[in-house]
Amino acid sequence: MGAATIIGISAAPTVAGAAPVNLIQNGDFVLATPPATFQTVDAGDSTTIPGWTVVTPSLYDSSSGSVDVVSSNYWNNEAPGNSIDLAGGTGVPGGVYQKVPTTIGLEYSLSFWSAVNKDETPTGRNHTTGVSVNGSPVDTVTTTGAGYPLQWVQNTVTFTASSTTSIIEFDDTTVGDTNYGPTLDNVSLFAGPSGTPVTIPPQVAGKTFNATVATFTDSDTTLADFSATINWGNGTTSGAIGGSGGSFTVTGTNDYASIGTYGPVVVTITDSLGLTAAVTDNIVQVASGVTLCSGNCTTNAPATTQNPVNAQVSTTGSGYVLLSTFPNTGPLAFSCGDGFRHAPSDVEETNTLTSQSATITATDIFPAKDGTQGSGLEGLFFWVCFNSSQSFKDLTGQWVNTGLLPLCNPFKPGPGPCVDYILPTSGGNITEQITYPAADPGYR
């Protein structure tokens, strides 16, 4: 292919739509005046092929490189418009590049089609196209053969932008090429979704919740083109996409069965091109749904105003358990409270444990004071709080490890502790009996 006149035109606008927006300008190498067959464009020219600048690959150590813009009158192009022969008519191969605005940290998909031109002699020779972003190689494509029609092959490579402008370049990197090189057509560049985390508030153990965990934007406005997976940090996943017009949300449903700290929550958003955005949310704090079961004593208060701290149950002998008492002050004072904790006020109590076949019961006898005094039912208007190593349903019906104890059901024993009875006794005392399941001999 020989040389031809160079004609310059202004850049064509990018057309946006419901589909992803191609960030490459003039990816099919259209000229203002279509060449009858082909047109040679020399290195240094940045106007003839709108959006593209022609260069000489550094491999050739020359300034006289060129490319040919080839029309569909000369050979079959992959897409309407023209294609590029990366070895032009000057005897030194060339390359083309384009500067594209990008977002740092965003993943991009670069697609292009390649073949060997029909004038290749001898046939069967290998040609290579070097692909680089900001001067760093990201792909090398080898094309083989010749003949007509051209055998176009699509190539795709992904990269993560490291700057606000990315230079996309294609070079003939075949040693010994002169006028016949690898061809290039139908270049596109698509950006993946850009995600932002949404703070997940503290949750209640055993209570199912639905939360928005991330938002994201994309030039693709089609909701069905996206999917999302939320890793909640407790071994479960979920995820659903909502929104429209290129602005979307990710929501999911989860249930943290036990009190604790989970996460961080990681959200993975995937688009129709397989591009992903990973969004890291906060660590989720999960507590009991009953606030009266925490902070119900003061470590600096006199011992007479606190419950005995009976937080650890251990077996002694055969079939019996002993509540070991921690001090009210010192390094173990964080266990303030006991197996039984009462609201609205603490009460003095003693614990007597006996073994009853498959269950263990504890009977507490304590003076009726600190909110439990009175006559009739109003004198018993208080709750029993509990910490357990096994989850159980509290009075609100939630599965928890600490909470307000439910009444025992003799016809359907539950998995956790429950209240057998709370009764007034002589001498102004109140007696309560708690049943522990046999499978729960651990921390309470």
- For the segment 413-440, what is each residue's pLDDT rounded down to a tens digit? 776 667 777 776 666 666 667 776 655 4
Is the per-residue pLDDT at 19 higher than 90? Answer: no
Reported as half-sphere exposure (CB side, CA atoms, 13 A), residue 206 has a value of 19
309 confidence band (pLDDT: 50, 70, 90):
very low
Is the per-residue pLDDT at 223 higher than 80? Answer: yes
The CATH superfamily assigned to 194-287 is: Immunoglobulins (2.60.40.10)
CB proximity list for 97: less than 8 A, separation 6 or greater: 52, 53, 55, 167, 168, 169, 170
Rg (CA), the chain: 37
Q: Give the pLDDT score at 415.
A: 67
CB proximity list for 134: less than 8 A, separation 6 or greater: 162, 163, 166, 167
Residue length of the chain:
444
Q: Give the pLDDT score at 34.
A: 87
**Which of residues 369 and 115 earns the better pLDDT score?**
115
pLDDT, tens only, 29-77: 999 888 999 999 999 999 999 999 999 998 887 888 999 999 999 999 9
Q: Could you say which architecture CATH assigns to the domain 38-191?
A: Sandwich (2.60)
Q: Give the pLDDT score at 386.
A: 58
Q: 38-191 and 194-287 share one CATH topology? A: no
Return the minimum-mean-pLDDT range out of 59-63, 129-133, 267-271. 59-63
Q: Give the pLDDT score at 441.
A: 40
5 confidence band (pLDDT: 50, 70, 90):
very low
Q: Give the pLDDT score at 204.
A: 74
Is the per-residue pLDDT at 1 higher than 80? Answer: no
Is the per-residue pLDDT at 359 higher than 60? Answer: no
Rounded distance, CA 377 to CA 50, Å?
88
Q: What is the pTM of this model?
A: 0.63
CB proximity list for 108: less than 8 A, separation 6 or greater: 23, 102, 158, 159, 160, 161, 166, 189, 190, 191, 192, 275
Rounded distance, CA 433 to CA 366, Å?
12
**Which of residues 84 and 15 earns the better pLDDT score?**
84
Q: Give the pLDDT score at 166.
A: 98
Q: Give the pLDDT score at 421.
A: 72
Tell me the average pLDDT across 89-112: 95
Tell me the average pLDDT across 173-185: 88
The domain ranges of the chain are 38-191, 194-287, 291-437
Q: Tell me if 255 sits within 8 A of 206, measured CB to CB.
A: yes
Percent of the chain's residues with pLDDT above 90: 46
Q: Give the pLDDT score at 213.
A: 96
Is the per-residue pLDDT at 168 higher than 60? Answer: yes
Return the minimum-mean-pLDDT range out of 37-41, 86-90, 91-95, 376-380. 376-380
Return the minimum-mean-pLDDT range out of 129-133, 330-334, 425-429. 330-334
Q: Give the pLDDT score at 356.
A: 42
Return the minimum-mean-pLDDT range out of 142-146, 239-243, 291-295, 358-362. 291-295
C-alpha dihedral, 344 to 389 to 360 to 366, nearest 10°:
-20
**Which of residues 100 and 393 earns the better pLDDT score?**
100
Q: Take residue 240 and report the two structure tokens written for it.
A: 């659903």
120 exposure class (CB count in 10 Å sphere: 0-12, 13-18, 19+)? buried
